Amino acid sequence: MARRADELLAVACLLAGNTTSIRAAALLTGTTVSSHNVSSLLAELTRRPDCTDVLHALILLADHLDQHGSPIDYARRRALFTTRSSFIAPLDWRDLQRRLRSNHLPDAAHAQRWIFHTLTGSPPRLAHPAIASATPSQRGQYLRFRWRILPAEVDLLLHTARTILDEHGIDEPVQWIPHLDDATVRALRLPGPDPNSISAAELHRAVPGGDFSIARLAHVLNTTTAHAIYLLSQHLVDWSPPRFRHIHYIATRIAQWRTWYEDDHYSLQDIADLEDTSLATVRLALLKYGFPLRTAVPRPGRPSRRGRRRADC
């Protein structure tokens, strides 16, 4: 039940306040959980004194959805994308990996799963067999991928997901989270640590540079690994080594540098000053990306640097 709590709770939410059967609710959410598992979860929540307000939270969420609805038609997305075998070009993913990581992932399988999961709300094991996480090992690797993901990787995946929705004429947000009344939620006594008890700044200070262990991070933050994973999903941390952050920064800015240099006729030093970086960084970046450099020509009425040095002497 713990491994599939999100699916079970989603089914339980549909049961609040109506006579829908558990089997019908499971079919509506696109999951494969059994009626027995849902009944066991509800019995456990009812039995445990620290879970009473979990049932209240489900009722609040169901009431919120009844009143406000959702901007996303997940049933339509599941119908469209569950049989799709690929969401992102592996070459695009590998190219980003080379710029971001010293040890990049060997393939784009987790990226495919991430987009499917984000678009449909369904776990990756329900995706097309070509990308589904079929074994416990694959499921564990995917969970690790989600908390170790870098901001630039999320940007690419969200952009790809947005493009897919646009191609199907779907004018919906890529993902959405309902927001319940803060005062009502604060009054609930829910098991586990308060998700907002650790700020983004505290999280970012605790994450070391380079590779790190989620168990070690949870220990530093004095919380659970589940809480640490949640925090990383809400407040992305760029833990990649400085060299790779620098490479990605250049990759995101090179188009603007080219425009300034070729169209606006800025000098290399002008660009370096605007970007607060070195002249060598700008020069090498333009050369690396195949943009020819101009021959330095002194401006009319202005001596060259060598001439200015001689005059100064």
Instruction: Name the region of 123 (left: φ>0; alpha: ψ -120 to 50; beta: rest).
Output: beta
Query: What gap in Å lies between CA 277 and CA 253, rounded to an integer?
Result: 12
On whether both 157 and 91 belong to a single domain, the answer is: yes
Q: Do residue 45 and residue 122 come from a single domain?
A: no
Q: What angle do CA 183, 4, 151 make, to 5 degrees?
A: 70
Note the maximum CA span of the chain: 93
List the Cα angle 53/186/193 in 5-degree steps.
75
- Domain boundary residue among 69, 92, 121? 69
161 falls within a domain: yes
Residue 84 lies in a domain: yes
What CA dihedral angle connects 110, 97, 291 and 261, to 10 degrees? 90
**Are residues 49 and 88 both part of a single domain?**
no
Cut 0.75: pTM above it = no
Reading the block at residue 7, the tokens are 């699916």
Whether residue 14 contacts residue 25, with contact meaning beta carbons closer than 8 Å, is answered with yes
Domain limits for position 29: 5-69
Would 264 be classed as within a structural domain? Answer: yes
Per-residue pLDDT of the chain (313 residues; tens, 9 = 90+): 677 888 899 999 989 888 889 999 988 888 888 999 999 999 998 998 888 899 999 999 999 999 999 999 999 999 999 999 999 998 888 888 777 765 555 568 999 999 999 999 998 989 999 999 878 888 888 888 888 888 888 988 999 999 999 999 999 999 998 988 878 888 888 888 888 899 999 998 998 876 778 999 999 999 999 999 999 988 988 776 666 667 767 877 888 998 999 888 899 999 989 988 888 888 888 888 888 888 765 555 544 444 433 333 3
Q: Both ends of the chain: CA-CA distance in Å?
A: 81
